[in-house]
Amino acid sequence: MSSVWPIGVAAGVAFALVGLLVSWWIVAVGAVIIVLFGVAWIYEVVREHRPEPIAAASAPAAGEHLERASIGEQEATRKGFLSAMTLGLGAAIGALVTIPSAVFAGLPPFKKGEGFIDIDVDLGPLEAFKEGEWLITQFTMNPALGDVAGRVAYVRFNGLLGREPSFTILSNRCVHLGCPVQANGPTTPDEQRTLGAGHRKVTYTPVLPAGGFGCPCHGGQYDTEGNRVAGPPVRALDRWAYKIANGRLRLVGAFSVNEVDGTGKDAIMGKYRLAQPGIHIDGLEQILYPFIPPS
């Protein structure tokens, strides 16, 4: 007898596998579908193969009655065993497919960007930054890794916010596909300054991004606060988190931003755990991506 329950189980498995690459909410929906349709399928199989009573109207002889009952029970037992084996084999195959996918495909997108979140990089003394001046700041995120850990940030000293220095520190990674963003304005390389040496060297190059920042790869455009103004990026530029220690500016991590309201030290923004390029962090679109809680 044909049944819709196996189709439902297959649909649930499909939901779960897609959810591993998109969102845990979809995985949960798939799991619920699998359980509901699986239970209904098992119930139907057990009910169909339950031995039926022999009608009394035929009035068989006692030996014939026992023989028919024995054959019916054996056939029902055999069918039940085969059905159970089929379900068990299907469950084993599903586990073999789902578990490796969950580990190797589903887990990494939900992990934090290790090595990019918890850092401590010395960008130099506060005297190196003039109020209102943008600096293309080149530094090494992890000196032990050498040149491969080189990074670029756009740094602007906003003046004092209360008694604390305020900085705008934008990542140069486009939030479309990760290409390096460039300043839409002239640089003054003859005024370039350098502090430190080796892989602890920090280089500052003054720039005037009057037109904001732009991605040369696919045309993404941002204003001077990092807000998307044109092109395919899905949110504002990521920012570096910082602290002031012993009169020096230090980077201590990075975070994603949905939108910036205001400018400089008066800017207000929604801060989220660092997300990969191309991922929505708020709005209806966020349900299609791994959950990123705001901070």
Q: Is 294 a member of any domain? A: no
Q: Is 116 a member of any domain? A: no
Give me the amino acid identity at 57. A
Q: Is 211 a member of any domain? A: yes
Instruction: Judge if 205 and 267 occupy the same domain.
Output: yes
Instruction: Judge if 49 and 133 occupy the same domain.
Output: no
CA distances in angstroms from 230 to 179, 209, 259, listed in the order given: 15, 16, 14
Instruction: Judge if 130 and 196 occupy the same domain.
Output: yes
End residue of a domain, out of 80, 110, 140: 110
Which token pair is 161?
């916010």
Q: Is the pTM of this model over 0.75?
A: no
Cα–Cα distance, 221 to 223 (Å, whole number): 7
CATH number of the domain that residue 263 is part of? 2.102.10.10
Q: Is 164 a member of any domain? A: yes
Q: Is the pLDDT of residue 1 over 50?
A: no
What domain count does the chain have?
A: 2
CA distances in angstroms from 235 to 5, 219, 258, 269, listed in the order given: 42, 14, 5, 12
pLDDT in tens, 162-209: 889 999 999 999 999 999 999 999 998 889 998 887 778 899 999 999
Instruction: Judge if 281 and 138 occupy the same domain.
Output: yes
pLDDT in tens, 98-133: 666 666 555 555 444 433 456 889 999 999 999 999
Instruction: Judge if 89 and 207 occupy the same domain.
Output: no
End residue of a domain, out of 66, 82, 110: 110
Instruction: Judge if 128 and 216 occupy the same domain.
Output: yes
Q: Is 295 a member of any domain? A: no
End residue of a domain, out of 110, 141, 159: 110
Residue-range definition of the domain harbouring residue 32: 5-110
pLDDT in tens, 17-76: 777 666 677 888 888 888 888 888 777 777 765 555 555 555 555 555 556 556 656 665
SS3 of the chain: helix, strand, coil, percent, to 5: 40, 30, 30
Residue keyed to tokens 């660092």: 274
Instruction: Judge if 27 and 101 occupy the same domain.
Output: yes
Which token pair is 54?
């022999």
Instruction: Judge if 237 and 128 occupy the same domain.
Output: yes
Q: Is 293 a member of any domain? A: no
Instruction: Judge if 277 and 134 occupy the same domain.
Output: yes
